[in-house]
Amino acid sequence: MSALELATALGHEEVVLVRDEEAGLHAVIAIHDTTLGPAAGGTRMQPYANLEAAMVDALRLSRAMTAKAVMADVGRGGGKAVILGDPRRDKSRALLQAYARAVERLDGRFHTGPDVGIDARDVAVLARHTKHVSHTAEGAKVTVADLTAIGVLEAVRTVARRLGSELHGLRVAVQGLGQVGLRLARLLADEGARLTVTDVDEGRADRAASELGAEQVAPQAIYDVSAEVFSPNALGGVLNDATLPRLRVRAICGAANEQLEEPRHGDRLHEAGILYAPDYVVNAGGLLSLLFELGEIDEEGIVRRVKGIGVRVDDLFARAEQEAAPPFRVADRVVEERLAEARARRRAR
């Protein structure tokens, strides 16, 4: 399927291709759905094989942002932007300025922030040229990654309860010890969980394992670890034909976006009796932080709100159980229902 066909199939409202040869900027801004509010989503910068691959990434990620925003009840729609290039080599002030001008031209239909390859310093540059960016204010006690990790922790707690267990003594295999994974691992260790950890950055894995008293395995071996919960906090697409037959866990719950390579992998997990907590419900703490960044909610309030992710996951599991359906299918349906209701209300006005 071509990127254009995919945009039609996923129901995108608007996909903007940005080119500024002088600044060396090639970017795609995908606005998936603004029914519930302006599209929110980070800006990612990474090398892509070609423009088509970049568009496909932006289309998938922006659709997931709509789902995340609906489930988190955040009064926003879904969007995502990708800048093509190697952030270490190709990121320049001119490129960021040109990109910021493109965001500004959208006049608030898209609100963005940091993502892979774009950090808070870059956002500070963008902010000089557009109002429609934000990141956690300096001096704030909680960062976006803290909030994401707190949300995932509460989701794991809910998963543990469903398995008839608690966090204390729960065996969790943690893949990825970056901004979110390490924070999550620390929170889990504080609660007495027994961890097995891995990261492709060996130094990072060594440090985390010794700090947390965790077992450490090679990156590829994480799929073979016998544990209650597998927690993906690195890449998307990790639940696929190659990894599923290897899993020796009872549940999956982590921060990584787009964990299922394809929906059918979620169905297979369900058939195998492995409880999969849908990624976009679990990792919504990052999006919710927007409310804090924009001053709509204070620090205490945002932490409380993010902790509510545990209850949301539990409600979802309860409904899925009633319907004997996989929770990720139910979540997708809830998203569609809520959007359809909102569209109908809008038409009626």
Please provide residue 112's backbone torsions phi and psi, each rounded to the nearest 5 degrees.
Answer: -130, 175
Q: Is 315 in the site for ligand NAI (CB under 6 A)?
A: no
Q: Binding to ligand NAI (CB under 6 A): which residues in 83-112?
A: none
Q: Binding to ligand NAI (CB under 6 A): which residues in 170-229?
A: 175-181, 198-201, 204, 219
Shortest Å, Cβ 333 to ligand NAI: 22
Residue with the two structure tokens 């500070």: 124
- Strand ranges across the sheet with 229-232: 215-216, 194-198, 171-175, 229-232, 251-252, 275-276
Choices 85-93, 154-162, 209-217, 233-241; region in contact with ligand NAI by CB under 6 A: 233-241
Q: Which CB, 46 or 165, lies closer to ligand NAI?
A: 46
Q: Which CB, 124 or 318, lies closer to ligand NAI?
A: 124
Which residues 6+ apart lie within 8 Å of 22 measured at CB?
A: 94, 98
Q: Is 257 in the site for ligand NAI (CB under 6 A)?
A: yes
Q: Which residue is nearest to ligand NAI (CB)?
A: 178
Known catalytic residues? Answer: 80
CA distances from 95 to 19, 212, 306 (A): 10, 40, 34
* Alpha-helical segments (H) within the chain: 3-10, 51-72, 87-90, 93-105, 120-126, 144-162, 179-190, 202-212, 263-271, 279-282, 285-293, 299-307, 309-323, 327-348
Q: Residue from 34, 134, 136, 148 that binds ligand NAI (CB under 6 A)?
A: 148
Q: Which CB, 67 or 98, lies closer to ligand NAI?
A: 67
Q: Residue from 160, 283, 310, 339 that binds ligand NAI (CB under 6 A)?
A: 283
Structure tokens at 94: 């001119």
Q: Residue from 255, 269, 303, 339 that binds ligand NAI (CB under 6 A)?
A: 255
Which parts of this chain interact with ligand NAI (CB under 6 A)?
A: 144-145, 148, 175-181, 198-201, 204, 219, 233-236, 255-257, 283, 286
